[in-house]
Amino acid sequence: MSTFNGWTIVPLPASPSSPKSIEWALADTVGASRNPFSVGQQQTYNWASSAIRASVSYPPMPNAQALPWIVFLMSLQGIANVFSIGDPLNVGPQNLSASGGTVTGSGQTGYTLITTSSGLTPGDWFSLGLRLYRVMSVSGGILTIWPNIRESPADGTDLVIVNCTGLFRLTKNVRQYTVDENRMYQFTFEIEEAL
């Protein structure tokens, strides 16, 4: 198994190849303070930090198909290890002639990325290394993205725009699964970006 930042990357089982459902959660870190001496006046501070979270459910599966999933969950060792997953409904850009291009300039941080990409549209996913991002707006090759850049990419780093994935981990150490009266297994687990 490969590693990243000291974390072991556990491969997802091959079957089923995509979840039954993913409930995405978009989290931003914004603080707020309400003034008790004025009518509802509030001051906010945006810490410019965001994270992708999700609840992933797989379709019912028989014992032989479920065993690799049980081993996968055990191999994650709770929140200790990570895995790579993407959006199974959006495996490529909306514009079929879009090109990912490369990062232009090093030292980029925040929610803006300068690239040589073309044809990407708001809502498209892309990967930079092992990180998953979504395009919010496009102005030439300048992309406004979400979440914020995780590790500043090197100049010339490729943007992957097809079958994009990012590194995630479980949100808690306890893993559960259900076996019903028909001996079918069901798996649902909560995940968040590995940061």
| pLDDT (0 to 100) of residue 70 | 98
- Indicate the length of the chain as a whole number: 195
Across-strand partners of 137? 144
**DSSP code, position 36:** T
At a CB cut-off of 8 Å and minimum separation 6, what does 39 contact? none
| pLDDT (0 to 100) of residue 67 | 97
CA-based nearest residue to 166, from 52, 74, 81, 89: 52
**For the segment 106-160, what is each residue's pLDDT rounded down to a tens digit?**
999 999 999 999 999 999 999 999 999 999 999 999 999 999 999 999 999 999 9
Which of the residues in the chain have pLDDT under 70?
A: none
> Cα separation of 63 and 66, whole Å?
5
| pLDDT (0 to 100) of residue 47 | 87
| pLDDT (0 to 100) of residue 1 | 81
| pLDDT (0 to 100) of residue 121 | 97
| pLDDT (0 to 100) of residue 45 | 86
| pLDDT (0 to 100) of residue 109 | 96
- Domains, the chain, ordered by start: 1-86+168-195 (3.30.200), 90-164 (2.40.30.290)
